[in-house]
Chain A
């Protein structure tokens, strides 16, 4: 019976119970059991693989072989004989082995499988080692043959023939490092022509996936030897050390899912896939160190971390007594294009990964400072007021952001002319104070004939097509929308042109871009994304490309800003979706988190994981996107967020205003202090961004990356390192009285505010202060600071530096400082200052680290060092002698922070009056 009134009551009831309205919509997303390839793969038994490697030989510097199936598997008995697969192994410099397995290109197939282009950096192929020979032997007591190739002086790649297995081993000891298919879980569904009886369609809720090419999934097991834990494979709101998802004692867990999704109100502890995907896993253990495995594949992936004893019943005994972590990888489509990173140190693995996928872009200085965002700063007046309030409260900030409401009807590149009638003037006003603006540009294009982007895109056929070949139409912010096909380089180039000042009316040189919703988010699509049978350039199915969709959009946008600035203005583009290589195009953030302590807590492992997998420029929305944070939570979030590589406050439009000055004087002060801490440490952060730009080693790091032999650090993810010098411990509970901090290593640590020393390798129960979260400088390091606060980084350019030298037990310390113009690419041609400061034997020396051959463009800085602080100095020196010039400077005991109290352990060399750019020495007398 139809009763409209009852229905009305029901809606009211539902409205009254907030939990119903605000929660993760679990049912809208597929779990493994609802995902046929995952269910099939997960149900297979170890040892079921019957592939055998044959015809092993060297060809074009690679090891090549055929993979043939010994006997058809039971469910394939009635089918045509399976074609052999082509296996290729290549070796690269710096300890990288690459394994490719694909259908034999020489044989006919209804469809070529998709290999992700544009991810591997151009220079990588030039690092290939030209393999000359393959030796064949029986390893250990094995009755079957193995083929062995050289990888480096210390490592070898091995292909065992029957059953087929691929692994890396140490040459001398024979110890294994990484192996694939040791448990015989390898499976490769070949593309077949559809027969009449085949029903390949897949249905989920109201959506039907036509799957015209049928099953084409791939799965295999990977083992990490000498490992205690595995890490990586973002993005999940989960712990840093990945918990097993299968095995004894685990009731039921989904595998870690890699499928880029726009998840409304995600949970803070779940293997569920979020906005981005990086199929790169790192293992670390006391016994062997670090190794990594990267599978370049953009289709949906599910990964099980297998708990110890998971294979107890399989009867498979690996010929290795090493402790190991087994994992199981499943993907819906694509090929096997896997990279084995040998390590052996944590930073080695990251460097190896980055040599394949590229180093993080060097951000502009402003982008490394504080960002103020909200959905939405309503109009020009609002923008002006918020900007003015920062000045009124003397709080620095660098960037003001505009979310979707600034546009005319969610048509990106346009302005709501009522709310923002003078966008250029607005940006110029901000720019006059050295500040920047970011506007949002999303990938869904409003289907509106009067919208120039839509007109051009539909006319030129630039949209992604649906399964029947028409422009795909989905629903997003603007209503009915289509999505530009960024896989096509020509279309990317067209898109990039849209960012020119002529095309983007109302944009100015201080305007940068935010790419949201690029998973892509499709409100009425299956799992809030695009149907898998949608078609891209070259007939590529969306299922094959999905996880790289946002990557291409990010790339095209970043290219646009690059073009706009004639190639000499570093782009800033924040993206929500990501894929391996995204680090080359800008920053990412952890999406729509919630204003809860648990979300503050999980932001740390999430950001650390992103850093481990190349994305060093990342952050979480400070304050939490959904909901209204308690004041204490907001303050704590600022205190921790000040150390995120990407430091931005953001809020949902339904939330109360939460700009820093809205919570009373005391809290304004606390938030100002937190933001100022970031500005004070900007020289350190910027130097670390440069380090990441060169090596890939992230700005913030798990403790074990800096202390790889300290087992206590391996699963710690409440604290993290900023570079190698600073340990930060978050406070994640309300009204915390105490906070427990583990300080690793043999050397001491100095409290960042007071200079108080703490002995290493100990856990401390410290009083929780409302003023800050605990942070410590590691003995043996030098941190460059800038102690003067300005409105924004722009005004800090000429300000003097402070060096904080934390001496270790041998009265020594080292640190670096990198400076450039903060904006252009001239640093690529040598226009930078890179100093190393070494304190040893009572003498501080500033050395030039920039190689003489770095380029020919100069970078000049007149900046001086106004203060040098010594922590942990044994004597009581009164003076320092500066060379060249033979000038004396006074040493006194002083405060570590200018606003703080003097402390006897803190020595200050007053006004040494030396330039940051010069070579000099200071001898403590």
Chain B
């Protein structure tokens, strides 16, 4: 094979047989020998001493080039035909831009190149549309460039502003930190004084108590229930108060809790409602528990609530309870199918309650065991839900005999329920945590519940986290509101104590009160500063992009309405989907991806039978920040497009301009050719 003679003879033979074939049957060979070859490659194919397959596997002759028979595994020898599976075909597309298409498109009856060069076997007639297409593409490109030009300017400005703002943030942070240090010193001093006073009080109390006990023993039968309760509470309160260490830890934990709360602090009103609802749950749950220490808790709360006017009556009346039970039932469907992270510590579930419940969609095997108890309709839904994974109400839509009210309720209520659950969880699991409830400041615990709820629950009301440009004011306001609430609680407590008025502390009351007041004020101030520090540090931890071009996104949200849903993208925070009053979280902020071209939100609410929801937001250059094209390509995996000036980069603008220049040149040439 290496001798040139043999080589030539083979070529001759090939040519010969080719001719004979061509004579009898049309195999649609290209008329132009270099068809499908990009101009820069023509040289490669022009060698008269045999051409190499680009993968180096073998050589072929000029006669084998585009002879509609595949010789190179990589398709080098057939750029202009469909003979090779991995070939590529170059369309000149004069008047527009050249493109390279798969060989599989050559002579397949579909016009792929605007110049029609891919269809030459006369089976289909392709019009040359390159000029029109070229013009349209050019216009499109010009528009895009115009956007980029403006966008680049906006971006520049934003980058500048971000630099300034960041510096300001850092400065504030360091200022706050030094202030915090100072305050801490004062705080320690004050605390010491306060403890001394309280020790004295404790001594006095013990003495009094002894007296009281003796006295009470004497008139035991006549004792009143309320005073008992009060005493118990009192007793505990003072016990705890006397332990200096526990007090400190409470304060600390209180601070800890507050980190992260700041952004989405519920309003005064919300908290009260939450508390009321929680209490509602508690009283129900607690009755069922029959657990002593839960009962204690309950009593405490009842007392608390009764003193506070705005809190819903604590009397567990029958109506309220049954209503509650109904709600509970509806919630189950929603919750059970959507809710996830709350790990239950509930060990004893009696079978009766399972049977009694009509909606056991999400109970898996147990549901099928109970299928006998279901109505035909329910059974149908139950079985359907296995495939669909949807809660049954949704599945049947408007047909299912359940009014909208119910449905809405069922969507809103889970919040309350999960709060309640957290409480129960706390009550049941750890005695060590119990003291937090006994403390006056237990408001913080309520809040921690709110926070946890925020973290874990699927549906929540979002009145508290609207995007706002004046975030700072909002935070301050929230903190103030919060503290005023704490104050209220404290007053209430004192009110209780004074009303009961069991003992008079022997120490100088006026001094004790003064110290306590100062202590409280300072602690409030410190908390406020610490919370501000934590929120600032939190903010500064974020990745704002290579040039901090995403700085201004912090604390902002972008919305898009699509059919019945409103999608909300809050960079550095979360992405969500709202339908009416219900909100589904599509993901928590995760990171930027693909060199700041994509935002990733992950670990959103769990999908039944599916993954956690997640959202990918692709960014593109635009003059305004706008969310568009929200899509769910795979179940519970969302995608959206966000146009933003932050993506209008100079180098990309240059690229586009070069492309336009090239297109213009092409068009000129194309014009000449035509």
Contacts and interface: CB of A to CB of B under 8 A. Distances in A.
Given A7-B357, A15-B340, A656-B635, 9 more contacts: A3-B288, A5-B288, A5-B346, A8-B421, A12-B344, A479-B380, A800-B27, A913-B17, A913-B21
A790 B421 CA distance: 60
16 contacts: A2-B352, A2-B353, A4-B332, A7-B354, A14-B362, A206-B374, A477-B384, A523-B382, A524-B382, A654-B609, A787-B70, A788-B104, A791-B104, A795-B109, A910-B69, A911-B69
Nearest to B606: A15
Interface string A690-704: 000000000000000
A205 B348 contact: no
A11 B336 contact: yes
Interface in A396-427: 396, 409, 418
Given A5-B424, A475-B384, A898-B73, A888 B13 contact: yes
Interface in B332-352: 332, 335-337, 339-340, 342-344, 346, 348-350, 352
A33 interface: no
Contacts of A23: 365
Contacts of B478: none
Interface string A887-925: 111100001001111100000001101010000000000
Interface string B293-305: 0000000000000
Given A475-B377, A480-B399, A795-B110, A524 B13 contact: no
Contact of B637 (A27, A657, A862, A898): A657
Contacts of B368: 25, 27-28
Identify which of B337, B382, B388, B395 gathers the most chain A CB atoms within 10 Å of its CB: B388
Given A11-B336, A479-B396, A523-B383, A6 B609 contact: no
A654 B610 contact: yes
B634 A657 contact: yes
Contacts of A16: 340, 343
Interface of B: 10, 13-14, 16-18, 20-21, 24-27, 57-58, 67-70, 73, 82-86, 102, 104-105, 107-110, 121, 123, 281, 284-285, 288, 324-325, 328-329, 331-332, 335-337, 339-340, 342-344, 346, 348-350, 352-354, 356-357, 360, 362-366, 368-369, 371-374, 376-384, 386-389, 395-397, 399-400, 417, 420-421, 424, 563, 607-611, 631-635, 637
Given A12-B339, A25-B368, A790-B104, A6 B69 contact: no
A25 B383 CA distance: 10
Contacts of B356: 2
B17 A911 contact: yes
A476 B381 CA distance: 8
A9 B348 CA distance: 10
B399 A479 contact: yes
Contacts of A394: 102, 104
Given A479-B399, A898-B73, A655 B381 contact: no
Contact of A524 (B57, B83, B377): B377
A20 interface: yes
B379 A12 contact: no
A584 to B, nearest CB: 30
Nearest to B84: A898
A432 interface: yes
B25 A6 contact: no
A433 B356 CA distance: 58
B25 A654 contact: no
Interface string A24-52: 01011000000000000000000000000
Interface string A88-126: 000000000000000000000000000000000000000
Contact of A887 (B20, B388, B633): B20
B380 A885 contact: no
A814 to B, nearest CB: 25
Given A409-B397, A480-B399, A15 B380 contact: no
A34 to B, nearest CB: 14
B331 A8 contact: yes
- Nearest first, the 8 closest Cβ-Cβ pairs linking A and B are A475-B380, A913-B21, A524-B380, A4-B328, A11-B336, A523-B383, A20-B364, A9-B346
A474 interface: yes
Given A3-B353, A652-B387, A889-B17, A676 B634 contact: no
A194 interface: no
A790 B379 contact: no
B18 A911 contact: yes
Interface string A471-492: 0001111011000000000000
Contacts of A899: 73, 85-86
Count class of interface residues, chain A: 35 or more
B329 A476 contact: no
Given A6-B346, A911-B17, A15 B83 contact: no
Interface in A766-790: 787-790
A312 interface: no
A533 to B, nearest CB: 15
Given A5-B285, A5-B420, A432-B110, A901 B377 contact: no
A418 B562 CA distance: 11
Contact of A867 (B69, B369, B386): B69
Contacts of A522: 380
Given A409-B397, A864-B25, A11 B325 contact: no
A898 B611 CA distance: 42
Contact of B635 (A653, A795, A895): A653
Contact of B349 (A10, A477, A901): A10
Contacts of A2: 325, 352-353, 356
Contact of B104 (A11, A789, A913): A789
Contact of A523 (B14, B67, B380, B424): B380
A674 B532 CA distance: 59
A862 B10 contact: no
Contacts of B24: 885, 913
A315 B324 CA distance: 71
B390 to A, nearest CB: 10
B399 A15 contact: no
A206 B104 contact: no
B379 A654 contact: no
A523 B73 contact: no
A149 B18 CA distance: 67
B371 A7 contact: no
B611 A656 contact: yes
A671 B349 CA distance: 49
Interface string A855-888: 0000000101011000000000000000001011
Contact of B284 (A5, A15, A787, A799): A5
Contacts of B328: 4-5, 8
A653 B637 CA distance: 12
Contact of B352 (A1, A474, A800, A888): A1
Q: Which of A7, A657, A800, A862 has the most CB of B within 10 A?
A: A7
Given A409-B397, A656-B637, A789-B85, A523 B381 contact: yes
Contacts of A885: 20, 24
A889 B16 CA distance: 9
A866 B68 contact: yes
A650 to B, nearest CB: 13
Nearest to A894: B71
Contact of B336 (A15, A418, A788, A789): A15
Given A7-B354, A11-B363, A654-B389, A911 B284 contact: no
A795 B108 contact: yes
Contacts of B329: 4
Given A4-B329, A27-B368, A382 B633 contact: yes
A22 B363 contact: no
A8 B335 contact: yes
Contacts of A791: 104-105, 108, 110
A475 B379 CA distance: 8
A486 B67 CA distance: 57
B383 A524 contact: yes
A317 interface: no
